[in-house]
Structure 1
Amino acid sequence: MTQELRRELRAEFIRFAHSAGVLRFGEFTTKAGRLSPYFFNAGLFNDGATLGALAEFYARTLLDAERHGHVRFDMLYGPAYKGITLASATAVALARKERNVPFAFNRKEAKDHGEGGVLIGAPMRGRVVIVDDVISAGTSVRESVEMIRAHGGEPVGVLIALDRQERGGNAENVSELSAVQEVEQKYGLPVFAIAGLDDVLTFLDSGSEAASALAPYRQRVAEYRMRYGASTS
């Protein structure tokens, strides 16, 4: 995939997320206590059509990363709960592209009967990509890395829908790195995002009918990016 095609993929995803009501604009308070002019909730990809389309974006992003030598993978892992449907749907999308890989996910609590254990799905093996919606504090990634290694796999990357490109901390105290950058630095794992906050701004600048209706939010998103945004250099 060329750079131009990657830009179009990101732009296509943002348009899709907005039309599906997953990317919204307004006033939202984040977990960090920040007043954000936009909100992304992948849990709202909640029917077969939108989940299938989302999985296609995940698969295209991951295959492009593999094609360019950024990652090699043997299976997918989805952390409970959102990651369960995301990893399984992505595995289906990959199979349709003749890249059939196994997947697994975890239970929140170990099962003491039947097959038992905390893992469901394929046996953990080889190079494993973690599939989730976003990275907020990195807790899910840490738990996933520990789970994968404990069961004999090797975590090699994280695949997410949106990189908020936002530095950690709270509304007043802001750290130097974003949650994604902290994961990459702490675990040495590349993070592949379908799109990021910069792509949201590009969408708002696009001049499309949908973007024109959102014109009042463009400056607010830009100011939010300026205040809390992480450097991408």
Structure 2
Amino acid sequence: MTLSNKSIAPEEVLGIFKESEALLEGHFRLTSGRHSRQYMQCAKVLQYPHHAARLGEALAESFQGHNIDLVIGPAMGGILVAHEVGKALGTKALFTERENGEMKLRRGFELQPGQRVLVVEDVITTGGSVREVIEVVKAYGAEPVGVGVIVDRSCGKSEFGVPLAALLEIEIESFDPEACPLCAEGIPAIKPGSRAVPTGK
């Protein structure tokens, strides 16, 4: 189920990305492992507090009336998103981190059984990180009740078993590394996100 958002138009979101020079062109290795010619670098948008607040408020609007107790997102991309959405909803905002490759709550963060939790992220392609966060939430006995993202590169194809709200759906072609035409041309792939430094294939 995809939730609608009436407080911001997709055109405005895309305009914010272009204004912030956050729609990058090149050869990128995505968090999912797939390769792409384009990359949505949300950090370049979220470096501006007024943009972060605007987008967080818009995502929060999609979940008004859902009785959210807490907002959580994966480090690094989901930290600022969770903070801004939590601020707009009047809840705490937590983040998960990877420890030895496993998504976990650290730093003394806790979830309580029965808490209604909204999972947020900056960009999803396959939704893998969001699913890992959902499993963390369930492991504490809390209830994931929705997923909110700024950019959905899957265009609604990612399924989480809870309502999804995305401020922008944009289809950016991606490739399996073994069938990537940019790799075939010998163009090095870079990883602009948070898990690794730029590297060749």
**Could you say which residue in structure 1 is the equivalent of 2:157?**
181
The one-letter code matched in structure 2 to 1:130 is V
Which whole-Å CA distance do the structure 2 matches of 1:12 and 1:119 have between them? 36
The secondary structure found in structure 1 opposite 2:57 is helix
Q: Is contact 2:45–2:51 with CA below 8 Å preserved after alignment?
A: no
**Could you say which residue in structure 2 is the equivalent of 1:133?**
122
**Could you say which residue in structure 2 is the equivalent of 1:106?**
96
Q: How many pairs align?
A: 163
Q: 2:35 aligns with which of 33, 36, 41?
A: 33
Max radius of gyration: which structure?
1
1:118 aligns with 2:106: yes
Residue 73 to residue 46, structure 1, CA distance change in 2 (3 Å): closer
Residue 151 to residue 60, structure 1, CA distance change in 2 (3 Å): same
Q: Of the two structures, which has the highest relative contact order with CA contacts closer than 8 Å and spacing of 6 or more?
A: 2
**Could you say which residue in structure 2 is the equivalent of 1:15?**
15
**Could you say which residue in structure 2 is the equivalent of 1:231?**
none
Residue 56 to residue 9, structure 1, CA distance change in 2 (3 Å): same
The secondary structure found in structure 2 opposite 1:181 is coil
Q: Could you state the TM-score of these two structures normalised by the residue count of structure 2?
A: 0.66
Identity %: 23
Residue 90 to residue 129, structure 1, CA distance change in 2 (3 Å): same
Residue 103 to residue 7, structure 1, CA distance change in 2 (3 Å): closer
Query: Where does the alignment leave 5 or more consecutive residues of structure 2 unmatched?
Result: 175-201
* RMSD across aligned positions (CA): 3.0
Q: Is contact 2:52–2:80 with CA below 8 Å preserved after alignment?
A: no
Q: Could you state the TM-score of these two structures normalised by the residue count of structure 1?
A: 0.58
Query: Where does the alignment leave 5 or more consecutive residues of structure 1 unmatched?
Result: 111-116, 167-179, 199-220, 226-233
